[in-house]
Chains A and B, each alone.
Chain A
Amino acid sequence: MSVPTSTTFDPHSDEPDLPLYEARKQIYPQSVSGTYRRIKWIILAVTLGIYYILPFIRWDRGPNAPNQAVLIDMPHRRAYFFFIEIWPQEVYYLTGLLILAAMALFLMNALAGRIWCGYLCPQTVWTDLFMAVERLIEGDRRERMQRDAGPFTVEVFALKLLKHTFWLLIAWWTGGAWVLYFDDAPTLVVQLLTFQGSATAYISIFVLTFTTYTFAGLMREQICLYACPWPRIQAALTDEHALNVTYRYDRGEQRMSVKKAAALRAAGEPVGDCIDCQQCVAVCPTGVDIRNGPSLGCIQCGLCIDACDDVMTKIGRPTRLIAYDTDVNIKRRQSGLANIFKPIRSRTILYAFVIAAVGGLMAYQLVTRAPSTITVIHDRNPIYVKLSDGRIRNAYTVRIANMLNDPRTYVFSVAGLEHAQVDIIGAEHAAQGELFITVGPDQTRELRVLVTHELDDRRGAPVALYFEIRDELDGRLAVGKDFFRTPNTVH
């Protein structure tokens, strides 16, 4: 075969080459009302409401812990979510949450395509908000298109200035709300307003103001088209039974004017319901024509459904010419078969199962987790020490974590080796042969524990030791396991 050098491309051709870069086509989405628009407004209000208000919700955890319901306390390495407190070593909950989020996204996709994109994605929610502001200040689609095409007057400038000011204010508020999740919200608000806040807070606000303003105000659908990986992944994950915003071409074609359709219908000819009014395109926030079939640009927000329903009602035809439907159903209807909807299929069952399993495991972990834990690490070097009287000593680093909000005293003991001498460097006190360790509220304490025993001449496996702490107050027991090793133990 030939080397891939030959080409019909001729550098000396007079024909102009195709552009390498594409200028953005400005989109002027028209306002619309209907079922899906209403759902979007409600979701927008709820999600933004949660985002902006949540940091101010209080939750009493007693005197030794912050009383903010949702707080990520970086300096103290703690995360709080209502009744849940997460320590750094429990970051696997975050892993669990990420798995749940991914699986929920996949499940949503298997059921109804990109409804995450259309309703819940922050990019969509904030863009919707920004578009609403734009519409309020600059007017609807037609007005904005005319103004942008016309001369740049003082009035135009004033309107644009007003719009961008409001956008920046919303963006600033968005960044401001973000930092409130990382510190006591009411205190931080006062600090920020009196210029007492930390540089990190101000920089975070600045960055988030910038990104919100740019993404929701200026970039909009460009983020979905070029920056977001989800459309690519989604296209590979979806199947023929996932509901999509679909133009029912079995009903819509041939497109023709209302008059012509009425005439043909009267003559008993086959007629399409689409009157080619372009309303579905006018309201689309990403500027796609849904009638061309599924596309990367479609975020499946359903606004074209609302727009089309409106038109169909006006011309006295049944609504839902565009609807959440599948290509399978279109083909079935064309061959005279009934619609099928298969929300329960192997992939939705699998996703639901993984969600239930991971969620259940996390819930179980959360409910059964111990409020006090003990971890034991054997000295690596030396593994054992020979003392002057010939006895063998093993040393351990023991860390006791008290995850409760009050100080706790633990009775410490080591079981597994009879007649072993147990010493703790820095123990509070020993009474009646028992060692007592106090750990402050929500703290950990590291101890050096020394276990000394006669040298056993017989060779054998290392002896298992059980380091136990018993909470003096409620008697709860936590155990850490390690081994006692001597020159004679087989490693």
Chain B
Amino acid sequence: MEQKTSAPADKSAPAPSGVGTTGHSWDGIEELNNPLPRWWLWSFYACIVWAVGYWFLYPAIPLVSSYTKGLLGWQSRTQIEVDMAELKAMRSGMTTKIEATDLADIEKNPELLSFARAQGSAAFAVNCAPCHGAGAQGFKGYPNLNDDDWIWGGKAEDILTTIKHGVRWEQDSNSRSGVMPAFGRDGLLNRKEIATVADYVMSLSGLAVDKGADLAAGKTLFAANCAACHGDAGKGNQEMGAPNLSDKVWLYGSDKAAIIERITIGGGGVMPAWSNRLDTATMKSLAVYVHTLGGGK
């Protein structure tokens, strides 16, 4: 339904503001005529010109399988390469020093230590955190790097070797090797014997064992089957990556079922060798970072 407005607007009628109206009226509501300054219009045109220039100079319009590249040839990919090269150049002084300095000396020099820890922390987040956790707290089967229990050695040099060559990493001939036999699966021990050894292993670190557990028999079985790698007292052997069984830190859990599982299937975790992926300074920084988390020897 169209309805005529009450009164025709008078273009010259001064509104309370002293400004005339445009003559447009909607249901008696009129529009004041406050025109924009002309220079504003020109700056609007200037923006349009700028935008058109931008189209031609920079990547702008998406096409079916590509996009307009722009006359300047600018690319975010090239930009990041330039930025990374700048960053590398900026750090090169410290990087060279890290490369030339012994790990122990890096830790004695506050400036180098701070740089290596910062670098190491960043590299850790990118490369190591997926397995060892963001805070190097580890998971079942992936060691916690904050504690003082080391499978392959907790000196900074040992840590660097592990980073460089990995653990049980077949592509690297210098990788840490040493595999626990699958005593159960391969029939080296029967179920009863495994349970007996498990009881004995738990007693080594003072864990509560089942009533009536035959610890003497367990000790005999341990001496015959386990002591070669783990030592007579179960203190472990870092040369072979045999964990210390007499301490309070357990990689796969400290309950009897977890220990029986390890004896049954044997084996051990795998860590890649990083020497082909990371440069020396980064690996050294990582070694310093891990070593100074708190548990380093």
A residues adjacent to B (C-beta < 8 A): 1-2, 4-9, 18-24, 219, 222, 225-226, 292, 379-382, 385-390, 393, 395, 423, 425-426, 445-446, 448, 450
Contacts and interface: CB of A to CB of B under 8 A. Distances in A.
B294 A448 contact: yes
B211 interface: no
Contact of A387 (B5, B20, B248, B292): B248
18 contacts: A1-B27, A4-B26, A6-B4, A20-B36, A21-B35, A21-B40, A21-B41, A225-B37, A381-B137, A385-B137, A385-B144, A386-B147, A387-B248, A388-B147, A389-B247, A390-B247, A395-B294, A448-B117
Contacts of A393: 146-147, 294
B3 A6 contact: yes
Contact of B18 (A9, A21, A292, A446): A292
B171 to A, nearest CB: 31
A2 B35 CA distance: 29
Interface residues of B, number: 47
With most chain A CB atoms within 10 A of its CB, the pick from B117, B293, B294 is B294
Nearest to A438: B110
Given A6-B2, A382-B144, A446-B114, A18 B33 contact: yes
B50 interface: no
Contact of B22 (A18, A382, A386, A390): A18
Contacts of B199: none
A6 B146 contact: no
Contact of A222 (B18, B33, B39, B293): B39
Contacts of A7: 5, 24-26
B25 A8 contact: yes
Contact of B248 (A226, A388, A423): A388
Contacts of B293: 395, 448
B249 A388 contact: yes
Contact of A226 (B37, B113, B133): B37
B11 interface: yes
Contacts of A450: 294
B77 interface: no
Nearest to A437: B110
A254 B84 CA distance: 77
Contacts of A24: 37-39
A388 B149 contact: yes
A24 B37 CA distance: 7
Nearest to B33: A18
Contact of B295 (A2, A23, A385): A385
A4 B28 CA distance: 10
B49 to A, nearest CB: 18
A445 B248 contact: no
Contacts of A426: 107, 110, 113-114, 292
A6 B4 CA distance: 7
B141 interface: no
A120 to B, nearest CB: 25
A222 B35 CA distance: 13
Given A2-B2, A395-B294, A426-B113, A22 B248 contact: no
Contacts of B20: 18
A387 B247 CA distance: 8
Contacts of A446: 114
Nearest to B134: A381
A225 B135 CA distance: 57
B3 A19 contact: no
Nearest to A24: B37
A386 B251 CA distance: 12
Contact of B35 (A20, A395, A448): A20
A22 B37 contact: yes
Contacts of A386: 147, 248-249
B240 interface: no
Given A8-B9, A222-B39, 9 more contacts: A7-B25, A21-B37, A22-B35, A381-B134, A381-B135, A382-B144, A387-B248, A388-B244, A425-B107
Contacts of A448: 117, 292-294
A23 B137 CA distance: 71
B267 interface: no
Given A6-B2, A21-B36, A226-B37, A381 B27 contact: no
A446 B117 CA distance: 11
